[in-house]
Structure 1
């Protein structure tokens, strides 16, 4: 930090170099093949260049008059990507939001306002006899949905948890009975939230069946596809989202599997008019009294954000220059490598694979001989060992992995986001985990 307090300090090239070096050294090395811990990746270089231009141009993109090209680019990308969703042209809508959590909140607002049209103005649960507003979710739903329930005034007590099958997908057959029981308790489930790529294990809920179930009960189906919606651009992987065209809304994070700078989330609505119901304000300083051809491109009335980065530009530039294949081939490679990593894991007698990966997320445990995890004390020891291993691997810095609790016991979790990560890198990771685990057990060093 400069010690100058009375005048603007002179530019110090060495100081700037130190700041940049510190920034690079202390962050997650997302371009390293050893970075397997989170659902963000290194960006395609062209996207970084466009993001730099975006920062310098500094156009807030909620209104066409301030950011003309970004608002047009949103419409172009909406049409390009809807070709893989499958909604009729002309009726659907898309708006960008700063992250999947905000997209989920916005979609739930639209769903709530459709089911309870007086809630926005008057608050409360609605007319007598209408039931308390409730949301139905899978057990592994992203935590942002629970947060949204609190923000919306619905409350976590009104979240209906739908049972999962052995693959950690929502089970539609068992969900029917749970929804019926919720109705008997005086709850009106206005929205069912399905996941296309859960954060924990990357599971894809059966969208086709859940859409039918939701619509039979008069509920909105929102799909949290923050991670997995990008598989739609791959002909080989698109069937994992079978039934997506029946959904009412879809959250899609381009900053995850489309390899652009964060945040860049696309919120799609099957019926654009329903999406317009999320917010209901007027403000003379931004909303025009006489809409025209250009204000029709504004998104300020559809999002919580007034000042919003033109985040679409990096995605549109990549798509415009390279086309779909850039994304499809990279996504397919990541999923293929994750499947190969799963096979490597099955060959290791002291490791336990917890699921067969559906995309590029793989969870497992280091389970040395003698540690069965069957009794309460053994399970606690197994849990502590996974946490200690993860902390040791993170501290040593060659690899970066994450952890997740599955059925109450910690598991190690990798997310392959870098196309340069190979099965040999994964074997190297397993050797480091094994070494760390043996040392922790032998010396009892734990997290030290």
Structure 2
């Protein structure tokens, strides 16, 4: 729906009463809810194949409703007792899957992966440059500029976090990728050496476990070797792919994650709970306090006790923070990890099936083998097109498919040319739905090409 038309409908649903509290109009309320649902992306539909947020396990929505009603901010134990205990419990449960023993590591929830990445990078910077928090840039030797090494396909939130920290794009060292869109370990050291010659002092290496573009998993074990040798903080952005740790069949894709200094993990992606629910892990509990160094008498107690020991306010940016862990903990408590593992396994198998279907169609080309539940591909018309025309065609196809409303897919540039992108988050999608999508894409291409 066009924004102006939607705004007109929304305004029409607003009471005109301004002198007193209006009576509850149940029909108006029903119309508001209907408009909200009808105009949003239908994440529970088998035609939804385009983004990394998903339909939620229904019970998680009930718990989220309770959280909204009781309204207990969870950065401090006294305000949200059960959420803080649940956060500690889930830290132990998921930390065990990472490969860490309880007691040595720490976890804190944050409102989204972007904030988790920023928080981890702040901790990394403050560990390497201890006086930076109090003195700013003057704490760094003027002959060297702090820098962060990232994969060329890293999520934009990492570059955005660097900008927030005063580290410009010129101080991001973009590491080359291999043919599978992963950081190429063989070319990391030369890139870091070249950065050092430019006066950059790299303090952190950011790897990805499930890149946003194609779902690639960087070789964490080999990158951990390099980080250890060069005394770099290793941060893993596993916002999408860290959930594969729940699966015995797929956990190997994150081999080496236990050696990371920090890990971002979005439960609102592949663990199917309402957004936001992000988990930020630190291998060393002491380093989890490095991001923020402040005193505030109105929230931070001078004499810690058994209650304040569960506070997370010193580790996360938010003071007022939703008790986001409750949706994940409640599902884990009631159903156990198999609920998540079975769904993740199914979706990844389904994506492999999608690759097989595309590979068998002469007018489609898959662009990579899927490592999880993301697959990029292109539709090829009957006659050859140059890269510019092929790029425009993929974008036009995506737009026509979206406007028709039966399917929702996304697009991404691969090798500088647009590609269509599947993200399979709904376990009710079948091979038949995938074939219906291909027919829809063909129809959209014919319309665009005028035949």
1:389 maps onto 2:397 in alignment: yes
**In 1, are the aligned partners of 2:271 and 2:340 still within 8 Å (CA)?**
yes
* Runs ≥4 residues deviating over 4 A: none
> 2-side partners of 1:52 and 1:348: how far apart?
45
**In 1, are the aligned partners of 2:358 and 2:364 still within 8 Å (CA)?**
yes
> 2-side partners of 1:72 and 1:130: how far apart?
46
Q: CA deviation at 1:77?
A: 0.2
Q: 1:404 maps to which residue?
A: 412
> 2-side partners of 1:149 and 1:138: how far apart?
14
* Match among 150, 155, 164 for residue 151 of structure 1: 164
> 1-side partners of 2:351 and 2:303: how far apart?
53
> 2-side partners of 1:127 and 1:403: how far apart?
41
> 2-side partners of 1:417 and 1:128: how far apart?
48
> 2-side partners of 1:382 and 1:125: how far apart?
50
Unaligned runs of 5+ in 2: 1-13
1:401-437: per-residue Cα shift (whole Å, max 9, x none)?
A: 0000111111000100000011111110011001110
| Within-5 A mapping of 1:9-158 | 9-124=22-137, 126-128=139-141, 131-158=144-171
Give the paired residue count: 438
SS of residue paired to 1:268: strand
Q: 1:379 maps to which residue?
A: 387
> 2-side partners of 1:352 and 1:368: how far apart?
11
> 2-side partners of 1:249 and 1:399: how far apart?
37
Q: CA deviation at 1:128?
A: 2.5
Q: 1:300 maps to which residue?
A: 313
Q: CA deviation at 1:10?
A: 1.1
Q: CA deviation at 1:176?
A: 1.1
> 1-side partners of 2:140 and 2:90: how far apart?
40
TM-score, with structure 1 as normaliser: 0.97
1:201-229: per-residue Cα shift (whole Å, max 9, x none)?
A: 00000000001111211110000000000
> 2-side partners of 1:9 and 1:293: how far apart?
47
1:199 maps onto 2:205 in alignment: no
**In 2, are the aligned partners of 1:248 and 1:269 still within 8 Å (CA)?**
yes
| Within-5 A mapping of 1:159-308 | 159-308=172-321
> 2-side partners of 1:359 and 1:371: how far apart?
31
1:329 maps onto 2:342 in alignment: yes
1:336-382: per-residue Cα shift (whole Å, max 9, x none)?
A: 0000000000011011110000000000011112225xxxxx11110
Q: CA deviation at 1:242?
A: 0.3
1:435 maps onto 2:448 in alignment: no
1:13-38: per-residue Cα shift (whole Å, max 9, x none)?
A: 00000000000100000000110010
**In 2, are the aligned partners of 1:125 and 1:131 still within 8 Å (CA)?**
no
1:312-349: per-residue Cα shift (whole Å, max 9, x none)?
A: 00000000000010000000000000000000000110
**In 2, are the aligned partners of 1:405 and 1:411 still within 8 Å (CA)?**
yes
**In 1, are the aligned partners of 2:209 and 2:237 still within 8 Å (CA)?**
yes
RMSD across aligned C-alpha pairs, in angstroms? 0.9
**In 2, are the aligned partners of 1:130 and 1:188 still within 8 Å (CA)?**
no
**In 2, are the aligned partners of 1:125 and 1:132 still within 8 Å (CA)?**
no
SS of residue paired to 1:38: coil
SS of residue paired to 2:290: helix
> 1-side partners of 2:343 and 2:239: how far apart?
17
SS of residue paired to 2:137: coil
> 2-side partners of 1:125 and 1:328: how far apart?
48
SS of residue paired to 1:412: strand
**In 1, are the aligned partners of 2:132 and 2:140 still within 8 Å (CA)?**
no
Q: 1:316 maps to which residue?
A: 329
> 2-side partners of 1:118 and 1:79: how far apart?
32
TM-score, with structure 2 as normaliser: 0.96
> 1-side partners of 2:216 and 2:140: how far apart?
38
Q: 2:3 maps to which residue?
A: none
> 1-side partners of 2:138 and 2:381: how far apart?
53
Unaligned runs of 5+ in 1: 373-377, 444-448
